[in-house]
Structure 1
C-alpha cells in the first residue's frame, strides 16, 4: 500500500508536466502551418493594403504563409466577432483599426468585449488625417478658418464617411474644441463624401491622408491642418492642429494586430517580435512612406493599454456627439 501510494503521488506530480508537454511543443514549433489574418474590412481598402503588406513580410520572416481573410461589414464588427470565435492558438490573428475601440461604444449589443476578448500584439501604424476645405471657403490657414467659422455660426457643413467613424468623430472633436457651430452630413463611405466636398456641396471634412493627397495636389481642395501629433512628410508645409490652434490635439486612423484572448503568451511575444521586425523592413517602410502612413510599434502591454485609453477618450466624444448605432 505504501508503494502504491508513492506511485500515485509520483504520477500526480508528473501529470502537470505531461499535460504541458504538448502545449509547450506547439509553442516551440510555432508556426508549423499557415496563419489566418482576418481583416474586418473589404479587400482593396487602405486597411487591407497595409494588412497584406504586413502579412507578406511577417510570413516570409516566419517561414509560413499568413493568409488574409476579408470579413467586412457592420463597421468591422463582423470580422472582429469571427476573430473572437476563433481558436486561441496563434493561427488566427486580427488586423484591427481604431474601430476596435469605437465599435465597443457605438454598438450597445456587441457579443464581445474588445478589452477582455482580445490579446494585444502590437500597434503597427497610424494614417494621419487632414482637415480639408473647399476652395470657396475664405480661409487659407487654420486660424483664418476657425475665425471665419466662429463669425458665421450654422453656415458651414462638414462631411464624414459615416456617422460614428473616425472621420466623423475627429471633425466633431475639432469643431467642438474650436466652438464651431456646423452641420454634420454623413455619407456611405469616403468616396461620395469627397465627391461632394470637391463639388462644394459641403464645406469641410477631416479625412485620411491617403484618400486626400491627390485632391490637395490637384488644387481641388485646401489642406489646412494635420490632426496627428507630427506633420506629414507628404504635406510638410501643412501644420498640425496641435502646433497651431489646439495644443495637445491628436487623432489618427491607427492600426494594429490582436489575437483571441487565451493565445499563449509565448506566441503573442513571437508575433510581436515578427511584427516589429516587419515594420522596420525596407519593403514595409518604403510602401508605408509612399502612402503617408506613419509607423508605430509597441509592446503587447503598451498596445493593450492604448486600446483601453482610446475607449475612454472616444467614449466621451461619442457621448457628446450623441451617436449610437443600435
Structure 2
C-alpha cells in the first residue's frame, strides 16, 4: 500500500508554479515591433532591448511584425500568452489612433494591452525635400489653397499619427491635401528625399539624420517643446494656433500578465532610463527621454485616446 504524500511534498508541488514565475525570465523575452525596420519604433526597441538585457539576465530579442500601422503586431502580442515573454513596443499612433479607427484593427488592442513603461516623447516635425520651394508652413497652405488636392503628404500608413497630423493640419488650415500612405516610415522618407511627395509630418527621430545630412529640410515642429538639436525651430502653431502633436514610445504586455512580471520589466526599463549615457543616445537619435511607470503611462494613454478619437470623428475617417 502506497503511503500518502507528506505535507512538505504537497506544499512543494503547490508552490512550484509560483517559483517558476518568480524566476522570470528563464529564457530570452522578445519585443514585437509593429513597424518595418529602420523607423522610430524599431530604433527605440533595439536600443531598449540592448539596455535592459543585462538587468533581466537574458538577451532580449526584437521581432518585426509590420502591417496596418502596427495593429498586426499589437494583436499578435495581445493574443500571446500573458507570461511576460512577449512585449509590444506600443507607439502613440497604434494604441491611440489605429485601435480606435473604424476598420483599423480587428480588436481594440488599446484595451487588451497593459502599459508597462514609457521611455520617450517624440516631437513631430514638418519636413520637405531639400529641393522643395516651400520655406514655411504658410507656403504649403498657400499652395494647397491654390491647387486643392494637389499638395501631397506621406505617412507610414492610413490611420497613423503622421496621417492624422496631416489631416489635422489640412482641417485647421481649411485646405484640401492628398494623403499618400506607405508601409512604414522608412519608405515614406525615401520617397520624400526623392521628391515624390511634397511633405511629411513625422517623428523627429525618423528624420533627424536626414535633416542633419541635408537630404530634407525641417520647416516646423508640431509641439511647444524645445528640442535640443533644433532649439530655434518654428512651431506649426505659429501659423495654425492650437495645433499640437506629441508622440510617445512605450512598452506594453498582454492583459492578464502577473503584476510581478510587469514589475520586472518596469524595473529593467527604469534602470536603463536612469543611465545618462543611454538617455544621451536617445537624444542624439532624435527623441526626448522620459520615464513613466505603469500608472503615469496609463494616464497618458487614456488622455491621448480621447484626443485622437475626437479628431477621427470630426474628420469622419476610416481605415483605407
TM-score of the superposed pair, with normalisation by structure 1: 0.80
Give the Cα–Cα distance (whole angstroms) in 2 for the partners of residues 270 and 44 of structure 1.
Answer: 28
Give the Cα–Cα distance (whole angstroms) in 1 for the partners of residues 37 and 131 of structure 2.
Answer: 35
The residue aligned with 1:259 is 253
Bigger Rg, which one: 1
Query: How far is the alpha carbon of 1:18 from its aligned partner?
Result: 8.7
Give the Cα–Cα distance (whole angstroms) in 2 for the partners of residues 64 and 287 of structure 1.
Answer: 22
157 and 237 in structure 1: CA distance in 2 versus 1, 3 angstrom threshold: same
Within the alignment, does 1:59 sit opposite 2:59 as a pair?
no
The C-alpha deviation readout for 1:152-199, integer Å capped at 9, x for no partner, is 362751311233212111111122223333333334544554455455
Three-state SS of the structure 2 residue aligned to 1:184 is strand
Within the alignment, does 1:97 sit opposite 2:91 as a pair?
yes
Aligned partners of 1:126 and 1:254 also within 8 Å? yes
Within the alignment, does 1:245 sit opposite 2:239 as a pair?
yes
The residue aligned with 1:3 is none
The residue aligned with 1:233 is 228
Within the alignment, does 1:48 sit opposite 2:49 as a pair?
no
The residue aligned with 1:185 is 180
Within the alignment, does 1:123 sit opposite 2:118 as a pair?
yes
102 and 233 in structure 1: CA distance in 2 versus 1, 3 angstrom threshold: same
- Alignment map for 1:275-290 (pairs within 5 Å): 275-290=269-284
The C-alpha deviation readout for 1:23-70, integer Å capped at 9, x for no partner, is 543454333332222222234433222111111211111222222222
| RMSD, matched Cα | 3.2
Aligned partners of 1:134 and 1:197 also within 8 Å? yes
85 and 147 in structure 1: CA distance in 2 versus 1, 3 angstrom threshold: closer
Aligned partners of 2:128 and 2:198 also within 8 Å? yes
The residue aligned with 2:3 is none
Give the Cα–Cα distance (whole angstroms) in 2 for the partners of residues 316 and 174 of structure 1.
Answer: 15
Query: How far is the alpha carbon of 1:274 from its aligned partner?
Result: 1.6
- Alignment map for 1:143-158 (pairs within 5 Å): 144-145=138-139, 148=142, 152=146, 154=148, 157-158=151-152
The residue aligned with 1:269 is 263
The C-alpha deviation readout for 1:267-292, integer Å capped at 9, x for no partner, is 21232122122123244223212211
The residue aligned with 2:69 is 75
Three-state SS of the structure 1 residue aligned to 2:30 is strand
Aligned partners of 2:51 and 2:272 also within 8 Å? yes
Query: How far is the alpha carbon of 1:74 from its aligned partner?
Result: 2.9
Aligned partners of 1:133 and 1:224 also within 8 Å? yes
The residue aligned with 1:303 is 297
User: Which moves more between the two structures, 311-320 or 19-28?
Assistant: 19-28
Find the partner of 2:109 among 102, 107, 114.
114
Question: What is the total number of aligned residue pairs between the two structures?
Answer: 310
Give the Cα–Cα distance (whole angstroms) in 2 for the partners of residues 105 and 42 of structure 1.
Answer: 22
Give the Cα–Cα distance (whole angstroms) in 2 for the partners of residues 19 and 251 of structure 1.
Answer: 53
- The answer for unaligned runs of 5 or more in structure 2 is 1-6
Find the partner of 1:213 among 202, 205, 208.
208
132 and 284 in structure 1: CA distance in 2 versus 1, 3 angstrom threshold: same
TM-score of the superposed pair, with normalisation by structure 2: 0.82
- The answer for unaligned runs of 5 or more in structure 1 is 1-10
Within the alignment, does 1:169 sit opposite 2:143 as a pair?
no
Aligned partners of 1:146 and 1:180 also within 8 Å? no
Within the alignment, does 1:37 sit opposite 2:31 as a pair?
yes
Query: How far is the alpha carbon of 1:93 from its aligned partner?
Result: 1.5
